[in-house]
Every structure is written in structure tokens, then in C-alpha cells.
Amino acid sequence: MKALFKPGPQAGFEFVERPEPEAGPADVKIRVLATGICGTDLHLQSWDEAAQSMSNPPFIPGHEFYGEVVEVGEDVRDVRVGDRVSGEGHIVCGVCRNCRAGRRQMCIHVSSVGVQRDGAFAEFVVIPETNVWVHHDPSITPELGAIFDPFGNATHTALSFPVVGEDVLITGAGPIGLMAISIARHAGARKIAITDVSQRRLELARGMGADLAVDVSTMSLGQAQRELGLVEGFDVGFEMSGRPAALQGMIENMNHGGRIALLGLPAQSAEIDWGKVVTHMLTLKGIYGREMFETWYAMSAMLSSNPVLHRNVAAVVTDVLPAARWEEGFDVARSGSGGKVVLDWSGV
């Protein structure tokens, strides 16, 4: 099969022939139709410190995908050949304390598809049946199905704290931040502000219903508060950018008792005013991946019940390219100027 391949511990991928994966007794083999390019994939391509700390080549990258089931193992009970599916990329051990307590997203022995094991930048991928998410809704296109993983990140983050009637600040208008706008609105937020410096992304944010899209190169968060008519600061924050300055700015502009969900991974150490965290009684919560599988049920329910949210999440995909043009797709994703980039594997 054709696949993007990471042959060793150096920068770059190769578009080469690789052996097709074989399904074990409890596994499902999926013909990949579409894959999303994630920030993790960019790290793996450039082979920076973050990539070196998380993976050990050789392997096939890619963990955001949609495809069709073509084979199931003898012990598979519910997934059927022909099902259209996405996949939960965190494969857990099932026996650690968190797994046994039903907190599988906190597994201490997790193995990630496309990071610690072969992934979905290929014509076929194999994952356990327990990680397969079957799409019963025919309105889920391959492009939308391919971004259920980051949509799950946005959902996990945005629903970490109650937002009914609350004023929400989102730092970082990348694809996940953009999706979080619609989720927060669906969940009952009052005012939603989002920050970035990319004019295209800020325009996308306005189209998704943000009350204020803030270019932080020209407007401070204090000014944003006044623009929105806020008196005491933001109630809930979603930090999506991974930029230390964004987190500190968020802390400085939260109401007393404010709650912050942190999804963005900083590339460098962050200076935090811990005195303000303590005296303003702020809550900081780290978010990693999706709750398994409560987040997946929430995603499907929101998409089926809210046409506006469905439209907005689908609109986060701004670029679709054939898989053979993967280098161009990675360049677009790395530019940080638009929404989600999806590679089409159907014609490979």
C-alpha cells in the first residue's frame, strides 16, 4: 500500500510502498478515505524536541481519519465490513488503575495511533474494535469524519466547565479553537471572544459566531472586555494556542473564581503569575485528547441536533488535497493561516 513513512529519527516523511497491516482477532482493518493533518504531525515531520520525546521511528504517522471497514477479526462483535468509521487514536492498556476505574483517557500506558504505532497516513490502518467509532449519520462526510479527533479535543475542552450564561475567552483561533466557538454557543455561553493574529482565522471565527474576534497585535484583552461590556472579567477560558503569553494574558483577564481549560501544548516553559491564580481563586485544568467515549457521544449528539453547529464544524475544513500532494498540504497546515487541512486518500 502507499503510505507516508517516517523511516528514522530525522526530519521529513517519505511517500512509499509499505506492507498492508494485518488485523488481529480483536482488530478492525479500515480502508482510509480521508485524514486530517494535526499539529502533532507537523512536529513529527520536522522532528523537533517534542517529536523526539513522544515517538521512536520507524512508523507511519497520522491519527485523524475516516474510512470504510474492509476486514474484522474473529473476535470482533459489533463492527461490520462496510461500516463508515473514525477512530479514537489513544489505545489503552485496560488494566491500569484509571482504565479499570473507567477513566481510560488517563491510561498511564497509552499507545497513540500514528505516534507510537503505525497510523492512518496510508491506504489502510488497523485498530482495535474498542477504538472504532461507527458513523450511522449519513450526513457525516469523509472530510467531517476525518476531524472527529480534533473536534473531540474541542468538545472535551469546551465542556470541561459549565458555560451557561458565562463569558468565554478562547486563545488561539486554529481549527480546534474555531470549533470550540460553536460548542460553547451550543452549551449556552453568553459572550464569546477569541484571539489570534491571523486575519483569515479571525474572519473564520466571526463566521462561526464569535461575539468578538481579537487581533492581539492591535487590541488588548482589557480592551476586548470593554468592547463586550464585561465588568469583572471572563468567567471561563479555553487556552488553545500553547503560547505562554496567551495563558498569562488569560489569567490576568479572568473574573475571580474563573476556570481555565488548557489544551494547547507550550513549546517552551511558561511564566505564570501564581499569586494571581491563588488570590483570584482560579481553577486550571489540563485537557488531553477526548474522554472515552463520553466525548464521542456528545459530538455525535451535537451534530445531529444542531444544524448550525454541524455547518460550522464542517466549515473548519478549508483545504482538501489528494494524498499524493501531502507536502503541499503540510505546508498549508504549517502556515497557520487557515482552518483544517485534509488529505483525500480515496484516489490512491
Instruction: Write the DSSP symbol of residue 325.
Output: G
Output Rg (C-alpha) for the chain, integer angstroms.
20
Give the DSSP H/E element, type plus range, for residue 188: none
Write the DSSP string, 108-167.
TT-EEBTTTB--SSBSEEEEEGGGEEE---TT--HHHHHTHHHHHHHHHHHTSS--TT--
The boundaries of every CATH 3.40.50.720 domain in the chain are 158-286
CB atoms within 10 A of CB 318: 17
CATH architecture for residues 158-286: 3-Layer(aba) Sandwich (3.40)
The boundaries of every CATH 3.90.180.10 domain in the chain are 2-147+316-344
pLDDT of the chain, 348 residues: tens digit per residue? 999 999 999 999 999 999 999 999 999 999 999 999 999 999 999 999 889 989 999 999 999 999 999 999 999 999 999 999 999 999 999 999 999 999 999 999 999 999 999 999 999 999 999 999 999 999 999 999 999 999 999 999 999 999 999 999 999 999 999 999 999 999 999 999 999 999 999 999 999 999 999 999 999 999 999 999 999 999 999 999 989 999 999 999 999 999 999 999 887 777 899 999 999 999 999 999 999 999 999 999 999 999 999 999 999 999 999 999 999 999 999 998 889 999 999 988
Q: Which CATH topology does 2-147+316-344 take? A: Quinone Oxidoreductase; Chain A, domain 1 (3.90.180)
Active site residue 40: yes
Give the amino acid at 139: S
Give the amino acid at 11: A
Each residue's pLDDT tens digit, 257-316: 999 999 998 877 778 999 999 999 999 999 999 999 999 999 999 999 999 999 999 999
Active site residue 43: yes
Tell me, yes or no, if the pTM score tops 0.85: yes
C-alpha 314: how far from chain center: 14
pLDDT for 270: 79
In the set 43, 90, 186, 310, the catalytic residue is 43
Each residue's pLDDT tens digit, 153-173: 999 999 999 999 999 999 999
